[in-house]
Each structure stands twice: as C-alpha cells, then as structure tokens.
Amino acid sequence: MKRMGAKLTRRECLTSMGAALVAGAAMAGARRGWGTPVFAAERYPDPGITDTMVTIGTTQPLTGPPAAGFGRPYQDGFNVYFEYLNEQKGGVNGRKIRLILYDDGYQPPKTVQFTRQLVEGDKVFATLFQLGTPTNQAIVGYLNDNHVPNFPATNAAMFGDPQQYPWTVIPTGPTNFNNAKIMGLHAAATYRGQKAGILFQNDSLGTEYASGFKAGFNNDRLIASTQSYETSDTTVDAQVINLQASGATVWFLAAIESFAVLAVRKAYDIGWHPETYVIQQGTVSNAMTAMGPAATDKLVTYTTFKDPRDPTYERDPGILAYEQIVAKYRPQLDATNLRLIEAMAMAKLFADQLARVQTPTRRALIQAFRSVRNYDTGIYLPLFNSSGKTNFLANAAQLARWNGTRFVPFGKVISAL
Amino acid sequence: MAQLAQLLIGGIIAGGIYGSLALALVIINRSTRIVNFAQGEMAALTTLLAWSLLRAQVPYWLTFFAVLVIAFALGFGVERLIVRRFELTSTMTAVVATLGLYTLINGGTQFVWGGDIKTFPSPFPAYTFPVGSVAVSVQYLGTIGILLAVMAATYVLFEKTHLGLVMRAAAMNRSSAELAGVNVGLMLELGWGLATLIGAVAGLLIAPITMLGPNIMVNVLIYAFAAAILGGFESQAGAVVGGLVVGVGENLLRSYVPFIGNDLSLPAVLALIMVVLLVRPQGLFGRRSVTRV
C-alpha cells in the first residue's frame, strides 16, 4: 500500500492509461461484438442490427396445447420465408434476417424468461409474432419499457392502445371484441326485434367477446339471457337449457373447443334451433361435420383469412406465391396449412417494413409499422392499415356460414371501426 | 316445468359421468387402501386406445371387450411394476406416485394422440323419445343402465364372493392376511386391474357424451372425488349416489340460486359436501371405522 501523497511513478501512469484504453476498446467492442469498430456505435444506436445482419427473436409454443395447431407451423413458416428471403434476395437492403426462436410452451413464466434472454442476452432488434394472450400479457410492459418493437400474435384488445404500448403493433386482428362486435352488428341488422342469448367462457377472453357482441348488437333490452361456464366444467347442459327457456332465437356462443361442440349438440338435443354466432375458437370442423347438417345448419362465424384449403382460393395469386416458396425450399411441409402461410405473411410484412426504414433504428421500424397503407398480406381478407386509434392493423372481417363440411364466406367484409 | 325436468335429466347424466369414475376410485380404495389420482388419466388412455382401434375399422363390441382386457392388464401391470415398490414403503408415497403417473399419462396421451377434439361413437342408437315435454335420449338411459349394472356386479363381488372377501382382507390388514395364507400381491394386482377396467368402462360411456379432447378426465376427476367422498369412499352405491347428488345439485343450484349462478356452482357443491362430512365424516353410505385399542 502506497503512502498517501506519494507521486505516481511513470510506469504506473503508463500502465493505467494503457489498461484504460484496452478496457474502453474492449467495452465498446463487446457492446457490438468483436470486429465492429467503435465508431459504428453512432450509426447503430440500437442492438441487433449491423451492416450485414438483423437479429430478431420470438417465443412460440413448440410444446403445449397450441403447439401442433400454431407453434410449430409458425416456426416452419418463419424459417422457410426467411430462408427464401436471405438466399433469393440477400435479405433486406443487404442485411440477412436471423430469427432466434425459443419454446415457451405457452407458459407465461417461460415467456418472460426467454424474452429477457432475447433482449438482454441475444440483443435482438425486435421481437416478432409471439403467440398468445397470457404470454404476451407477461412481456408487453417489459418490451415497451425497453423500447423493443414487438408484433404479438393475439386478438386481445388490451394490447391495442397506442398511448399505453407505443412499441407494440399487432399485425393481425380484428380484436376479439371487434370480431364479436361485427357479429353483433350483423345480428342486429338481420334479426330485428329478436331476443338474443349469450353463452360465454368466464375469463377475460369470454368476457371480451361478450362485451363486443353487446356493443355491436346495441340493444340490451333484447338480450334475454347471459350464461357463463368455467373451463373446469364438464358439461354446459344447464346453461343451454336456461338459454332456451329465456326465449332467445339468436345465440352468441363465445365458447372454445369442446365446450362449443357440447353446447351446439345440447341445443340440438333439446330442440333449440337459434341462429348461432360462434367464435373462431369454437369452430371444431371434424366434430361439427360428425354432428351432421341438421344440428349445425345455423352456425355462423367470422373469418379474417382466406383458407388455403377452400376451393374458392385455389388460384389465388397471394396464396400461390407463398405455396411456391414452400415447394421450393421446404417441400415436405404442408403448404395448405393456414398458420404456416400466416407466419410467412408476417415474415414478409416485417421484411417489407424493414425495407422502408431510412435509418436502421428501432424507432424507425415502429414508425414504418405505424404508417402502413392498404397493405395486402396475401392471406388476410382485409387490407392492413395503420390507425392512430389502435395498434391493430386489421379491423374488419367477413362472416361465413357452415354448410355441413366447412364455413363458406358470404356477404361483404364488415368493418368494426 | 320443462326447464326443471331438463335440468334434472341433465344433472342425472352428468351425475352418471361422475359416478362411473367415482366407482373406479372406490374399488381401488377398497382393494388397496390407496387413492389413485391417475384413475382418470388411465381411463382416458384406454378410451383413446379404443378410439384408435375404432379408427382402424375394428368393430365396436370387439373393441369394447378388447379394451377391457387391455385395461385390466394395464392396471395389473402398473400395480405390479410401479406402485408396488412404493406401497412397500408407505401408503402416502404410493399416492404421490399416482400423482406422478397422472402427469406422465396425461402428457403421454397428448403427445401420442394430439390435442384436437375427436368424436367417439356410442354403443346405443342416437334415438330420443319424448317424455312429456322433455326429450330423453336412449344413449343416456343406456349409460345409466350400464353404470348401475357395474355397480351391482362389483357389490356382489366384494360382499358376496370369497374372492371379494379375500381382497378386502388383503387391503385391510396386509400382514394378517399374509399370515392367513392370502397372496396379497395378487390381490392388489387384481384390485388395480378391476378398477382400471371399470375406469375404462367409464371412459367408453363418457366419451360419446363429452367427446374426446385433451384433459377430458381432469375435470371429471375433481367431481368424481367429490362424489366418492360424499358417498363414503367405502361404498360403490355411495359413489353412484354421490355422483347423482353432485350432478343434479350443481344444475339446480346454478339455475335457481342467482347468487350462486354459474360461477360458484362447483364451490357451492363442494361446500355442501364439506357440511355433510362435518355431520357424518364417513360419508352417506360409509361405515365408521373403529380401531380397537
């Protein structure tokens, strides 16, 4: 230990200066990765983007309930599109896109863990199309606080406020609320004066749907009965019986999966035959086909997508373009899988907005997403348009009627705004 | 009036579903003294096996009996190979092992059969006939009928046959039974085999009504436990009656007591069961267990 006040020797001076220089260079280098010159920090104030590469991240349920239906087709869709983009076009403006994907199993604690990893460890530029309402609920605050552009795959209206979540733009929609509102608008216009009954799942999803329908139906006096069920219930018999007893002839069925199927079957069994508006998650095609046309002839749902398996869209140029990419790069994948094509469309949307940025910053990316005009994704029915009022890019849908084997779109595209 | 009748019938159907799984729980308990948390999942597994056989164009009744045999062998094997190891240490460990089995089978079935909803055919014709203003389905009657038949058959087995006596002895006091020359291991295996077989029957009856999805038995298990506890874990009749009380009670409470409604119907039923147990801890049909000192 030196005595206080002793002068530094020349050797000590030079050593410490040298150490400081090396440490400074190391820190600057470490921030951008070895090999990036220190002065590049001004051009790229945000992480995850360099002259040659853009790194983005996502969490998807590769295991868990939505894995087979959503998580794995999404993963395939992103991979095949980015592979095509990087190889055919050298990426976007000379930058290849690298996607890091973690499996969160649709469990919010894991989503949080992996999102932190993406932002703080992998240092991604943005996150793309993470699936789920509860999962995104857990990370949207964190991502916005850290100014990470995020584009979640969810229809929950809670993410829609641009003031609350300025770094979030939702490249899908309409919201559950708006989908239900569209059905409510149609019901009120088509079945004037008739009483309506609602069966909804007693959680935030079902409650949102129920409010949306009421908003569109716009006549609370004519809502004869509102019944709820819990996901821990085994049957919904009592609720359906009570709805019939209320005299309703229009039915809004905000139920998912097996509950919707059980409800429709029970209604048929007790001889109740209302016009039934059912949410997307309640349309279980194979079960409905098995029930037979007599039990399912009054079912209507909304559709925001062109279904690649629907013969109506067999020659649709938008869908064909995606299918050709799949055929060339991953022919073993099922190119008629709606979710696969949806993911490819999201990848394309991201690439197209990235191409529009003047400066390679996160702010510029979000601004590009907030100035989308009449963008055709190729797979969605409505065109995408940014709006100052909502984070959602899609706010319209078309209704479709069950014909015994599938839902057939009818009428015009109805807007909820 | 029609509404009330519909609710009663709906409650009886639901009660039948709960009671059939509760039966299996009671059988396991009577023959091995442990509670099997995996009962529902094993029933789901055998039902999914039946579904696969039916998809492969095997005729219904052949599938039915094949699955019963498979279920018996499954229960037999699980007891011998897995649960026995834990039973030797303590009952509590064995029960926790069944929890592990529950998780394993639940995940395994989802892995193999996927998460989508499957329809399952019923052995009864889809014919409904009106009774007054209410539509009664032959399928539901058949389900209740088979349930009552199984209940009667197991009652006869346990109460009136020598084999039943020996099984009960092995469960009640293993060491004494062994000293009396009973092959305790075989009795436990038979008990599990029988319970899994009954669970399989329950699954085959439930699946046409509720459809096969992931976790169909998870919710039913909660109700089945409630039914079994209410009826007294010792009694097959108790399981069925308990199931009916739970099913009908829940429907009536949620429809006619606005305060309870749909949100609180299950908690209300469980609260009711707690009240019954406070007054009569052995359940409606159970026997008070007395230990002589």
Please give, rounded to a whole number of angstroms, the shortest distance from the CA of A71 to a CA of chain B: 13
Please check whether residue A285 touches B, CB under 8 A.
no
Q: Which residues of A touch B118 (CB under 8 A)?
A: 286-287
pLDDT for A269 equals 84
Q: Which residues of A touch B3 (CB under 8 A)?
A: 241-242, 244-245
pLDDT for B262 equals 83
pLDDT for B94 equals 85
The Cβ-side half-sphere exposure at A341, using a 13 Å CA radius, reads: 24
Kindly report whether the global pTM for this prediction surpasses the value 0.80: no
The residue among A184 and B82 whose pLDDT is bigger is: A184
Q: Are residues A234 and B211, on separate chains, in Cβ contact within 8 Å?
A: no
Instruction: Using the predicted structure, report yes or no on whether residue A376 has a pLDDT greater than 50.
Output: yes
**For residues A134-145, average pLDDT:** 95
Q: Are residues A234 and B220, on separate chains, in Cβ contact within 8 Å?
A: yes
Residue linked to tokens 């590769």: A62
Q: Are residues B262 and A227, on separate chains, in Cβ contact within 8 Å?
A: yes
How many Å apart are CA A222 and CA A248, to the nearest integer?
Answer: 9
How many Å apart are CA A192 and CA A186, to the nearest integer?
Answer: 10
Residues 6 or more apart in contact with residue A82 via CB below 8 angstroms: A97, A98, A99, A347
Q: What is the pLDDT of residues B221-278, one digit of tens each?
A: 888 998 999 998 888 889 989 999 999 998 898 888 888 888 888 888 888 888 888 9
- Considering only CA atoms, which of B11, B72, B54 is closest in space to residue B212? B54
With 0-12 / 13-18 / 19 or more C-beta atoms within 10 angstroms meaning exposed / middle / buried, residue B254 is buried
Residues A71 and A61 sit within 8 Å (Cβ to Cβ): yes
**For residues A75-93, average pLDDT:** 95
Please check whether residue A238 touches B, CB under 8 A.
yes
Q: Determine phi and psi for A283, rounding to 5 degrees.
A: -95, 95
pLDDT for B4 equals 87
pLDDT for A203 equals 87
How many Å apart are CA A50 and CA B284, to the nearest integer?
Answer: 73
pLDDT for A6 equals 52
Per the DSSP assignment, residues forming a β-bridge with A198 are: A226, A252
Quote ipTM for the complex.
0.77
Residues A213 and A254 sit within 8 Å (Cβ to Cβ): yes
Q: Which residues of A touch B223 (CB under 8 A)?
A: 234
Domains and CATH numbers, chain A: 53-173+311-386 (3.40.50.2300), 176-303+400-415 (3.40.50.2300)
Residues A302 and A397 sit within 8 Å (Cβ to Cβ): yes
Residues 6 or more apart in contact with residue B42 via CB below 8 angstroms: B36, B71, B74, B75, B78, B101, B105, B196, B199, B200
Token duo for residue B104: 């394993």
**For residues A303-315, average pLDDT:** 86
Q: Are residues A270 and B135, on separate chains, in Cβ contact within 8 Å?
A: yes
Please give, rounded to a whole number of angstroms, the shortest distance from the CA of B75 to a CA of chain A: 25
Please check whether residue A203 touches B, CB under 8 A.
no
Residue linked to tokens 């509720």: B210
The residue among A122 and A5 whose pLDDT is bigger is: A122
pLDDT for A1 equals 46
Please check whether residue B262 touches A, CB under 8 A.
yes
Q: Name the average pLDDT for chain A.
A: 89
pLDDT for A71 equals 92
Q: What is the pLDDT of residues A7-28, one digit of tens each?
A: 656 666 666 666 655 555 555 5
Instruction: Using the predicted structure, report yes or no on whether residue A37 has a pLDDT greater than 90.
Output: no
Residue linked to tokens 């993911």: A343
A92 — pLDDT class (breaks 50, 70, 90): very high
Q: What is the pLDDT of residues A227-277, one digit of tens each?
A: 999 887 888 989 999 999 999 999 999 998 888 988 998 898 888 999 999
Q: What is the pLDDT of residues A152-162, one digit of tens each?
A: 999 888 899 99
Q: Name the average pLDDT for chain B.
A: 87
One DSSP character per residue, chain B reads -HHHHHHHHHHHHHHHHHHHHHHHHHHHHHHHS---TTHHHHHHHHHHHHHHHHHTT--HHHHHHHHHHHHHHHHHHHIIIIIHHHHHH-HHHHHHHHHHHHHHHHHHHHHHH-SS-B----SS---EEEETTEEEEHHHHHHHHHHHHHHHHHHHHHHHSHHHHHHHHHHH-HHHHHHTT--HHHHHHHHHHHHHHHHHHHHHHHHHHH-B-TTHHHHHHHHHHHHHHHH-TT-HHHHHHHHHHHHHHHHHHHHH-TTTTTTSHHHHHHHHHHHHHHH-TT-SS--------
Give B 27-86 residues with CB within 8 A of chain A: none
Closest residue to A241, CB basis, from B6, B118, B210 = B6
Instruction: Using the predicted structure, report yes or no on whether residue A32 has a pLDDT greater than 80.
Output: no
* N-term to C-term CA, chain A: 74
A311 — pLDDT class (breaks 50, 70, 90): confident
- Cα-Cα-Cα-Cα dihedral of A216, A231, A270, B244, to 10°? -150
Interior angle at CA B166, CA B164 and CA B170, nearest 5: 120
Instruction: Using the predicted structure, report yes or no on whether residue B2 has a pLDDT greater than 90.
Output: no
pLDDT for A5 equals 47
Q: What is the pLDDT of residues B123-164, one digit of tens each?
A: 887 777 777 777 777 888 888 888 888 888 888 888 889 988
- Size of chain A in residues: 417
A290 — pLDDT class (breaks 50, 70, 90): confident
Collapse the DSSP code of A382 into the 3-class scheme (helix H, G, I; strand E, B; otherwise coil) and give the result: coil
Q: What is the pLDDT of residues B42-57, one digit of tens each?
A: 999 999 999 999 999 9
**For residues B279-292, average pLDDT:** 78
Q: Which residues of A touch B255 (CB under 8 A)?
A: 238, 241-242
Q: How many CB pairs under 8 A join A and B?
A: 91
pLDDT for B185 equals 87
Give B 132-151 residues with CB within 8 A of chain A: 135, 137
pLDDT for A179 equals 94
**Winning range, highest mean pLDDT, from B83-97, B126-140, B197-211:** B197-211
pLDDT for A16 equals 64
pLDDT for B77 equals 93
pLDDT for A47 equals 95
Domains and CATH numbers, chain B: 2-279 (1.10.3470)
Please give, rounded to a whole number of angstroms, the shortest distance from the CA of A209 to a CA of chain B: 18
**For residues B154-179, average pLDDT:** 86
Q: Are residues B6 and A68, on separate chains, in Cβ contact within 8 Å?
A: no
Residues A384 and A171 sit within 8 Å (Cβ to Cβ): yes
Instruction: Using the predicted structure, report yes or no on whether residue A4 has a pLDDT greater than 70.
Output: no
